[in-house]
């Protein structure tokens, strides 16, 4: 068969499944299952990236695969939206797979062969989710994704906390899946055909369309981590091994975003404006919530998990703006917002995966996840530290890296809002912009805490002086992702051109970014706003170089080493540096009502004084525990039916028989 983008993508999916199965051949052999197979998986991911980029310029391709049940074959379709997300999966998975080839070592938790199988099935199922063109394929792929990731999360299943985290994850994934299933049920609009083409052709009255949107937001929001369905994220992401956390945080959350975009912009044609307002409000709240919680965490992976919640909130805010504009027929602005949201998707995939993988290396080298026991690792692990710095700066949204570009685009979209016809929304959108600005500032705070406490300062535990740097395979993986961050930051015009094909297919118009200069980004109009990361980076580099040369030429470069300033306290220990709790204390003070704080204070009479602080999420008390209690109550009440006497059970059957016969009359 001819080499079309769709066949290449399907080939990659099949290759991943084959690699996974091959892992079962020699499950204990780390060199085979670990290095070789993961390496092959990385090559396949690169092919997927190439296929995604290739197909962005191609017309839409669709196939019916000769698989599945009779009368329910699998439909697949490759359109611009799907190609973008496939490129995202490919680019991120390439880096993570190379890293994993070096990361998984013998004697830790699961068998390498089993890990290989679960990992590659996970990747293949995510590809199928993006390719799916009918509800059946979508749900099969979605469930496979959930199951594969569940097994990956519970790799170290002998630890009870990890088992509990896995259970919570599976539970919420299925609650979301029910929402998605019901959404598809509403979308078919009476035709009882579950292909996406049929759903596109069906026109729903506004009430049913809104119900479908609400179900989609609920279902996909549970997978993406929108408040209040976010509680599984901070438990599951830290519990999984680091490459899996990176894959979940960087890629799996984006498939949920893909789902929202697919349902609201493609299957429901034109979103209503007030859906956008709801999504905007929800996204803004999620973003602030995630940032505030991330700032007070003491476990490095939980911190990154909450930070993922924050970024998902930002993306959903962008989607909300896009829906708002599209509903009010302001298509050019809708294109701008949608591009900003999708750009942030791929940016987040790159820098979040980079940071999770760096924490993986730290965990490997030190065995510690607790921020209070790390520190000073920049001296022992220079490669990891400097690459993590790239990820940190990108996540904090600093120019000229990629995080800044998508945030810049989103702020430009916010600036156009005075032209809205509805007054209340007109006023609420600047509040959304204010919340967004607050989130960006908080994420810088979180990143300084993360990087500073782990890599800078002095080692808080003696064991840390034995830490070793990452291996060469891991370094390649990290470098690939860091390169992605830099490239996406320096070439925004190229990325926006690629995203414009998606805009044209979903909304009808593109941004029409003036591309007479490939190095200057002017999304709407050169008078209005422009940004050139290359000129910026070049300017900074020149300024720094000139300063350095002038200072060294006119003066000298002598350096002496001595002790740091101790203000007269002679016994400075490394434990006198800020702990993670200490660094988060201002946020705790300012945002007190957000948390449920439990403190254990020492008294003057304690022989060994202890100070403990536990910060809880209030959503447990407000939402989850009441539901869990009512479920238990109901189960208890229903339990009265079981009395253990045979006569009673015979009576149940007899009563049912009598009732049915009475109805037949």
Partner 1 sequence: MNPALPLSTQLIHLGAAVLLLTSFAMLSQRRIVSLVNLFTVQGVALSVSTAIVAYTSGQHHLYYSAVLSVALKVLLLPWILHRLIARLNVRWDSEPLINIPTTMLFGIVLVVFAFGLAQPISQMSTTIARSTLGIALAVVMLSFLMMITRRKAISQVIGFLAMENGLFFAATSATYGMPMVVELGVALDVLIGMVILGVFFFQIREQFDSLDLQHLEQLRED
Partner 2 sequence: MSTWAIIGLFEAVLAILIAPLFIGWIDQCRAWLQNRRGAGMLQPYRTIRKLLHKDAVIAHGASSLFRVSPYVQFGAMAMAAAIIPVFSVRAPLGVAADTIALVGVFALARVFIALAAMDIGTAFGSLGARREMLVGFLAEPALLMVFLTASMISQSTLLPTIADVLGQIHFTIFPSLAFAGIAFVMVLLAENARIPIDNPTTHLELTMIHEAMVLEYSARHLALIEWSSALKLFNYATIGIALFLPWGLAGRTGGALELALALPIAALKLVILGAALALVETLSAKLRIFRAPEFLATAFLLAVLGLLVHLLLGS
Q: Which option in partner 1, partner 2, none does residue 2 bind, with CB closer than 5 to 8 A by kind?
A: none
Based on the shown chain and the rule CB under 8 A, indicate whether residue 550 belongs to the binding site for partner 1: no
The DSSP-derived string for 508-546 is: S-------SSTT-B-SS-TTT--B-HHHHHHHHHHHHHH
- Residues 472/320, Cβ–Cβ less than 8 Å: no
Of 1, 424, 638, 646, which one interacts with partner 1 (CB under 8 A)? Answer: 424
What are residue 616's phi and psi, to 5 degrees? -110, 165
User: From the CB of 321, what's the least distance to partner 1, in Å?
Assistant: 18
- From CA 283, how far away is CA 313, in angstroms rounded? 4
Q: Which option in partner 1, partner 2, none does residue 428 bind, with CB closer than 5 to 8 A by kind?
A: partner 1
Using the minimum distance from each CB to partner 1, give the nearer residue, 589 or 607: 589
User: From the CB of 438, what's the least distance to partner 1, in Å?
Assistant: 11
What tokens were used for 359? Answer: 């924490």
Helix axes 300-327, 206-224, angle to 10 degrees: 160
What tokens were used for 226? Answer: 């929108």
Using the minimum distance from each CB to partner 1, give the nearer residue, 324 or 521: 324
Using the minimum distance from each CB to partner 2, give the nearer residue, 59 or 592: 592
Query: By three-state DSSP, how is residue 61 classified?
Result: strand
Q: Name residues whose C-beta falls within 8 Å of residue 587's C-beta, 6 or more positions apart in sequence.
A: 292, 295, 296, 442, 445
Query: By three-state DSSP, how is residue 28 classified?
Result: coil
User: From the CB of 531, what's the least distance to partner 2, in Å?
Assistant: 6
H or E segment and range at residue 73: strand 72-78
Of 1, 69, 207, 423, which one interacts with partner 1 (CB under 8 A)? Answer: 423
- Residues 413/336, Cβ–Cβ less than 8 Å: yes
User: From the CB of 521, what's the least distance to partner 2, in Å?
Assistant: 10
Stretch touching partner 1 by CB under 8 A, among 212-220, 239-247, 425-433, 598-606: 425-433
Using the minimum distance from each CB to partner 2, give the nearer residue, 104 or 531: 531
Using the minimum distance from each CB to partner 2, give the nearer residue, 162 or 288: 288
Using the minimum distance from each CB to partner 2, give the nearer residue, 543 or 648: 543
Q: Which option in partner 1, partner 2, none does residue 378 bind, with CB closer than 5 to 8 A by kind?
A: partner 2
- Residues 242/225, Cβ–Cβ less than 8 Å: no
Residue that has been written with the tokens 């101790």 in this structure: 566
Using the minimum distance from each CB to partner 2, give the nearer residue, 558 or 610: 558
> For residues 431-470, which are near partner 1 according to CB under 8 A?
431
Cα three-residue angle 140-71-260, rounded to 5 degrees: 35
Query: By three-state DSSP, how is residue 521 classified?
Result: strand
Using the minimum distance from each CB to partner 2, give the nearer residue, 13 or 420: 420
- From CA 643, how far away is CA 152, in angstroms rounded? 41
- CA proximity to 411, closest of 243, 275, 531, 274: 531
User: From the CB of 100, what's the least distance to partner 2, in Å?
Assistant: 29
- From CA 538, how far away is CA 389, in angstroms rounded? 19
What tokens were used for 622? Answer: 């407000």
Tell me the site size for partner 1, rule CB under 8 A: 7
- From CA 359, how far away is CA 317, in angstroms rounded? 28
273 DSSP assignment: H
Using the minimum distance from each CB to partner 1, give the nearer residue, 570 or 593: 593
Q: Which option in partner 2, partner 1, none does residue 593 bind, with CB closer than 5 to 8 A by kind?
A: partner 1
- Residues 346/488, Cβ–Cβ less than 8 Å: yes
Q: Which option in partner 1, partner 2, none does residue 531 bind, with CB closer than 5 to 8 A by kind?
A: partner 2
Length of the chain counted residue by residue: 665
Using the minimum distance from each CB to partner 1, give the nearer residue, 403 or 432: 432
- From CA 369, how far away is CA 272, in angstroms rounded? 45
Q: Which option in partner 1, partner 2, none does residue 397 bind, with CB closer than 5 to 8 A by kind?
A: partner 2
> For residues 313-332, which are near partner 1 according to CB under 8 A?
none
Stretch touching partner 1 by CB under 8 A, among 52-60, 140-148, 422-430, 595-603: 422-430
- CA proximity to 528, closest of 429, 408, 440: 408
User: What's the burial of 115, exposed, middle or buried (CB within 10 Å: 0-12/13-18/19+)?
Assistant: buried
Site string for partner 1, 583-612 (x = CB under 8 A): -------x--x-------------------
Stretch touching partner 1 by CB under 8 A, among 242-250, 348-356, 424-432, 531-539: 424-432
Q: Which option in partner 2, partner 1, none does residue 572 bind, with CB closer than 5 to 8 A by kind?
A: partner 2
User: From the CB of 74, what's the least distance to partner 2, in Å?
Assistant: 45
User: From the CB of 572, what's the least distance to partner 1, in Å?
Assistant: 35
Q: Which option in partner 2, partner 1, none does residue 520 bind, with CB closer than 5 to 8 A by kind?
A: partner 2
Using the minimum distance from each CB to partner 1, give the nearer residue, 424 or 635: 424
What tokens were used for 180? Answer: 């998605």
Q: Which option in partner 1, partner 2, none does residue 393 bind, with CB closer than 5 to 8 A by kind?
A: partner 2
Helix axes 5-23, 37-56, angle to 10 degrees: 170
What tokens were used for 54? Answer: 């290739």
Using the minimum distance from each CB to partner 2, give the nearer residue, 60 or 576: 576
Residues forming contacts to partner 1 in the complex (CB under 8 A) are: 423-424, 427-428, 431, 590, 593
């Amino acid at each position: 068969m001819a080499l079309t983008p769709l066949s290449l993508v399907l080939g990659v999916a099949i290759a991943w499944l084959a690699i996974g199965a091959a892992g079962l051949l020699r499950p204990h052999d780390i060199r085979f299952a670990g290095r070789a197979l993961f390496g092959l998986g990385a090559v396949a991911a690169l092919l997927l990236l190439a296929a995604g980029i290739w197909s962005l310029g191609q017309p839409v391709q669709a196939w019916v695969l000769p698989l599945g049940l009779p009368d329910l074959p699998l439909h697949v379709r490759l359109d611009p939206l799907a190609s973008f997300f496939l490129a995202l999966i490919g680019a991120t998975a390439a880096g993570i797979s190379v890293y994993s080839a070096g990361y998984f070592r013998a004697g830790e938790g699961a068998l390498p062969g089993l890990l290989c199988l679960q990992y590659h099935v996970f990747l293949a199922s995510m590809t199928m989710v993006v390719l799916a063109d009918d509800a059946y394929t979508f749900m099969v792929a979605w469930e496979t994704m959930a199951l594969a990731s569940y097994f990956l999360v519970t790799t170290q299943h002998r630890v009870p906390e990890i088992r509990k985290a896995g259970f919570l994850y599976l539970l919420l994934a299925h609650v979301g899946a029910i929402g998605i299933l019901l959404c598809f049920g509403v979308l078919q609009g009476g035709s009882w055909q579950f292909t996406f083409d049929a759903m596109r052709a069906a026109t729903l009255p506004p009430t049913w369309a809104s119900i479908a949107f609400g179900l989609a937001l609920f279902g996909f929001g549970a997978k993406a981590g929108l408040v209040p369905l976010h509680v599984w994220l901070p438990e599951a992401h830290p519990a999984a091994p680091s490459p899996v956390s990176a894959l979940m945080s960087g890629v799996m959350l984006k498939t949920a975003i893909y789902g929202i975009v697919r349902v609201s912009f493609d299957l429901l044609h034109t979103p209503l404006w007030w859906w956008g307002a709801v999504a905007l409000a929800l996204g803004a709240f999620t973003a602030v919530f995630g940032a505030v919680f991330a700032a007070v965490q003491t476990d490095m992976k939980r911190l990154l998990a909450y930070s993922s919640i924050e970024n998902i909130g930002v993306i959903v805010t962008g989607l909300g703006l896009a829906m708002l504009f599209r509903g009010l027929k302001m298509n050019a602005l809708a294109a701008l917002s949608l591009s900003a949201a999708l750009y942030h998707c791929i940016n987040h995939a790159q820098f979040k995966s980079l940071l999770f993988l760096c924490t993986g290396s730290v965990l490997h080298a030190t065995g510690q996840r607790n921020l209070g026991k790390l520190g000073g690792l920049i001296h022992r692990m220079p490669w990891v530290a400097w690459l993590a710095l790239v990820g940190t700066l990108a996540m904090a949204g600093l120019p000229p890296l990629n995080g800044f570009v998508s945030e810049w685009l989103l702020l430009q979209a916010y600036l156009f809002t005075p032209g809205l016809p509805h007054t209340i929304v007109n006023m609420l959108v600047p509040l959304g912009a204010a919340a967004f600005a607050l989130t960006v500032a908080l994420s810088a705070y979180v990143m300084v805490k993360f990087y500073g406490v782990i890599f800078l300062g002095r080692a808080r535990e003696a064991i840390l002086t034995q830490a070793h740097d990452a291996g060469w395979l891991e370094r390649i993986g990290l470098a690939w992702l860091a390169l992605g961050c830099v490239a996406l930051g320096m070439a925004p015009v190229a990325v926006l051109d690629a995203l414009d094909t998606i805009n044209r297919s979903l909304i009808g118009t593109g941004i029409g970014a003036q591309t007479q200069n490939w190095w200057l980004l002017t999304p709407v109009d050169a008078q209005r706003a422009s940004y050139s990361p290359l000129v910026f980076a070049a300017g900074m580099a020149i300024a720094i170089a000139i300063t350095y040369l002038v200072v060294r030429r006119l003066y000298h470069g002598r350096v002496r080493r001595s002790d740091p300033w101790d203000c007269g306290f002679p016994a400075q220990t490394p434990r006198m540096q800020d702990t993670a709790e200490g660094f988060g204390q201002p946020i705790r003070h300012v945002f007190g009502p957000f948390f449920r704080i439990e403190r254990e204070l020492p008294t003057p009479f304690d022989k060994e004084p202890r100070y403990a602080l536990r910060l809880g999420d209030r959503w447990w008390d407000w939402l989850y525990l009441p539901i869990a209690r009512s479920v238990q109550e109901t189960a208890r009440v229903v339990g009265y039916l079981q009395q253990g006497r045979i006569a009673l059970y015979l009576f149940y059957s007899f009563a049912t028989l009598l009732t049915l016969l009475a109805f037949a009359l």
